[in-house]
Every structure is written in structure tokens, then in C-alpha cells.
Amino acid sequence: MLSTKATCNSHGQDSSYFLGWQAYEKNPYDPISNPKGIIQMGLAENQLSFDLLESWLWSNPDSAGFSAQNQSLFRELALFQDYHGLPAFKNALVDFMSEIRDNKVTFDPNNLVLTAGATSANETLMFCLAGPGDAILLPTPYYPGFDRDLKWRTEAEIVPIHCSSSNGFRITEWALEEAYEQAQKLNLKVKGVLVTNPSNPLGTSLSLHELDLLVSFISSKNIHLISDEIYSGTVFSSPGFISIMEVLKNKDLINTDVGKRVHIVYSLSKDLGLPGFRIGAIYSNDKVVVSAATKMSSFGLISSQTQYLLSQILSDKKFTKNYLSENRRRLKQRHEMLENALQKNGIKSLKSNAGLFSWVDMRGLLSSQTFEGEMELWKKIVYEVGLNISPGSSCHCSEPGWFRVCFANMSKETLDLAMQRLSLFVDSMPKTKDQIHRLKSLKKDLRKTKSLPKWVFTLSFTTTRSGMESM
């Protein structure tokens, strides 16, 4: 008696990405009450700079208490219903978006549509651009939530643009054309390309070359480009972040037909670490898209008290400047901590410069170079090692053995423990020839670096300990 939508499984809830969360929820690690529980490393959450926001709230009790000049704003906010959003918030948000882009571009608040997070922004844009029988091209690996956000209710399809480790998962013209042809073979009408810049799960920002390629591609095919820039404020090292908006501006394309087919998605879930507040936005130069998306936004508005609070925080320019640079510094430090620990265990990852995660190459730990081998390793890591990480297959990666490992949703101590668990596991594993080779060359490199500590040389090549005795 239920609708097909309610009973179909295209939501993607049965993907290993969500199954890992369920495993974690049944047995969550807690240093005191459940020290042997699963550590959550599959959640792209930023908890590193909460103290900065808390301290702002502490010093601005009026804003946090919804009053101004000794007058309560309670009634005004409780009654506010305009789906265009609070003008003060939209102004503050576009300024913040410019600041993240080093003020190289500006955004017109009239082109902004507020949504309940980037989830709603992406779905709303899809409703504006595509429907059943249409396709959107997406570079792999991609954020597992896109299967739900872009396809489930809109009934549009995703066709993957296969990217490979051979060039660091970069987008190529060949891969774009191949995906376009594939969609046509499937009788789907291609409506656009969606990229995340910086990428989830890669943690890399798009190069100017890739952005140029994308602009030429959508221009020649007469299709749209959605640039999900939800991680734009997390870029912690070079190369920096180039927004698609900057590319359009430099090519003088903003108010052209091509410029109108480029749409940006943003949210404060990652840069400010506020996924619970549900603050997202669509930015588009196409008035028709802005108008349609604004009407649709009635289904997923941001509450007026949240808009008010954030308008106050984001208008404090001294605060936002300091927050952005301090948050980047903390992310960089955390990223280094994870990378160093992985390296000690002979595990490499993709060189990255942004995001809340690393894209880790565990091909050397697979029993076979297949997706079955990847699932086998993933289950061991979740249930035996006690770490919930996301397998590449849940991100539609076309090569087995890659995993997304999050580093910003836990304390340093928990990350340390997670790496100790991983280390014991790696020590306990029979090594493949490839891994022995990698460990040997790493050892050689380290010998050359005199300043490195002694422990680095104690890397084990044998299968000694059972691994998890001390867990």
C-alpha cells in the first residue's frame, strides 16, 4: 500500500558507506565507557574549531540570545516566513563566500537561494535541471550521498566519469567524452556535469587545467555545470583553491549563456562544522534557475533563528578572517598527523591539500586486487580493527583498494589510538611482495633523513603479533 518511492532501494542506504555508520552506532568507541568500540572515521565532520565559535557566542550574548538593543527579537524571528531568506544573512553569506576565495570574486545576494544544507541544494538544482531520462555526469570517486541526493527523488541518472589513480584521479577530456558517449548509449540525455571542488573523497582541489576543460566541455555540449564547493574553506596547503566563479570571471563569461549554465553549491556544514544547523545555498547566474529554486526551497528552508545567528557571526569580519586561517592551520596539522602515522605503516595516500579526509591506498593490504578483496579488508578493519572507514567502492571508485579516512571528527588522542590499532593490524598481516618492496624503499628513504626518530626504523616486515590482543 506504499508508494514505489517509499519502497524502492535507490536511496543507497544499503551501501557500505551507510552500513559502516550502522556498525559504529551499535558499538561506538568511548574512551571511558566503551574503549574497545569502533572509532568513527567515516564521517566528514569538522570538530576542530568549535572552541572558536563557542568563544564568539560567549562574547556576544545578545546575538546568541536573539536580542538587540535590549529588545527581544523572538517574535520577529518566530513569525518570519519569507522564503527568500533574511537579507542580512544572505549579504553576510555572500561576503563570506568571497572571503574564502580571497575576494577575487564577488557574489550577488539576489542570485543566492537558501536551502537546508548542500543536500537540499544539490537535489533542488537537479529538480531544476533534470528529470527521468536525463543524466548528470560525475567524476569518480564521488561522495556516496550523491546517489540519494541526485537520483532518488528526481529519477535522473548519474553516469560516472571514470578517473584513475594513474594520473591522481584527475579529470581528462577523454574521460569526459567517454562518459558522454556512455550516457548516449544508455539513451539518456546529458544535462550536465557535477564536480566537487575540493573533492570529497579525494581531498584535492581542481586544477586550472581541469576547470578550463570543464568550461569548454559544457560549452561545446550545451549542458550545465554544478560545482559543489562545500569544502572551499578547508584548503590547508598548496595548490590553493580556484573557484569556478574565478574561471568564469577571468574568461569574461559570467553573464554569457555558458556562465548562466554554471551553478555553485555551498554549505556551512564543513567550513564552519555546522551540519546540524542545515545551512546551504545555491548560487546561479540564471534568473530562471534562481526563481524556480527559490520556489522549491519552501520544502527545505533554513530556520529564521539560524539565519539570524549566522548573519551575526558572519558579519564579524575579524572573527571570520581569524576563524578561516586558524581552522586551516588545524586541519593541516591533523592531516599531517594522519599521513605520518600511515607512512610509518608503509601505507601511502593521494597527495591532498584540502578536506576533512585522506584518500588512502590500501591496495597492498588486499588479499586479491578485486572489489571482493576490498570488502574483505573493509570488514576486517571495521569489525576486527575497530575503525569505520569508507571503502572506495562506496564512492564508486573504479579501482579496488582505496579507502576514505576522516581525521577531523575526533580528538588527537582518538586519532592516535586509531593509528595504533591500524599499526597492530598491518604488523599482523602477511605482506605481499609489493608491500615488502614499498616498506624497504620507505626504510631506505628514512635512513637518509638523519633527523627522523628511532621508532621509524623498527618497521616490522614479519607476521609476528596477532594484532588485536591489546585492543
Which of 312, 315, 320 minimizes the C-alpha distance to 73? 312
423: Cα within 13 Å, side-chain hemisphere: 20
Position with the least CB separation from ligand PLP: 117
Q: Is 62 designated active site?
A: no
Question: Are 454 and 443 contacting, i.e. CB atoms less than 8 angstroms apart?
Answer: no
314's CB contacts (< 8 A; 6+ apart) are 89, 92, 93, 95, 96, 320
Q: Which of 230, 242, 244, 279 is catalytic?
A: 230
Residue linked to cell 566503551: 34
CA dihedral sign of residues 448, 435, 470, 386? positive
Q: How far is the CB of 279 from ligand PLP (least distance, A)?
A: 7
Which of 260, 231, 272 minimizes the C-alpha distance to 129? 260
Q: Which helix (H) or strand (E) holds 426?
A: helix 412-428
Q: How far is the CB of 144 from ligand PLP (least distance, A)?
A: 9
Integer Cα distance of 120 and 115 in angstroms = 6
Integer Cα distance of 384 and 362 in angstroms = 16
Q: Which of 90, 151, 191, 270 is catalytic?
A: 270
Q: Is 283 designated active site?
A: no
Q: How far is the CB of 276 from ligand PLP (least distance, A)?
A: 9
Query: Which grid cell sits at 456?
Result: 621509524
Q: Which is nearer to ligand PLP, 153 or 249 (CB)?
A: 153
Which of 131, 264, 231 minimizes the C-alpha distance to 188? 131
Q: Which of 17, 24, 29, 143 is catalytic?
A: 143
Q: Which is nearer to ligand PLP, 119 or 154 (CB)?
A: 119
Q: How far is the CB of 322 from ligand PLP (least distance, A)?
A: 23
Q: How far is the CB of 146 from ligand PLP (least distance, A)?
A: 7
Q: Is 143 designated active site?
A: yes
Q: Which is nearer to ligand PLP, 261 or 278 (CB)?
A: 278
Q: How far is the CB of 466 from ligand PLP (least distance, A)?
A: 36
Q: Is 249 designated active site?
A: no
| Residue 373: count of CB within 10 angstroms of its CB | 16
Q: Which helix (H) or strand (E) holds 253?
A: none
Sequential DSSP letters for 332-377: HHHHHHHHHHHHHTT-EE----SSSEEEEE-GGG-SSSSHHHHHHH
Q: What are phi and psi of 191, to 5 degrees?
A: -105, -20
Q: How far is the CB of 329 from ligand PLP (least distance, A)?
A: 22
Question: Are 38 and 389 contacting, i.e. CB atoms less than 8 angstroms apart?
Answer: no
Question: Are 234 and 226 contacting, i.e. CB atoms less than 8 angstroms apart?
Answer: no
Q: Which is nearer to ligand PLP, 202 or 360 (CB)?
A: 202
Q: How far is the CB of 47 from ligand PLP (least distance, A)?
A: 14
Sequential DSSP letters for 58-75: HH-HHHHTTEETTEE-HH
Q: Which of 95, 147, 149, 228 is catalytic?
A: 228
163: Cα within 13 Å, side-chain hemisphere: 22
Contact positions vs ligand PLP (CB under 6 A) = 44, 117-119, 143, 145, 196, 200, 228, 230, 267, 269, 275, 280
Q: Which is nearer to ligand PLP, 12 or 145 (CB)?
A: 145
> Which residues are annotated as catalytic?
143, 228, 230, 270
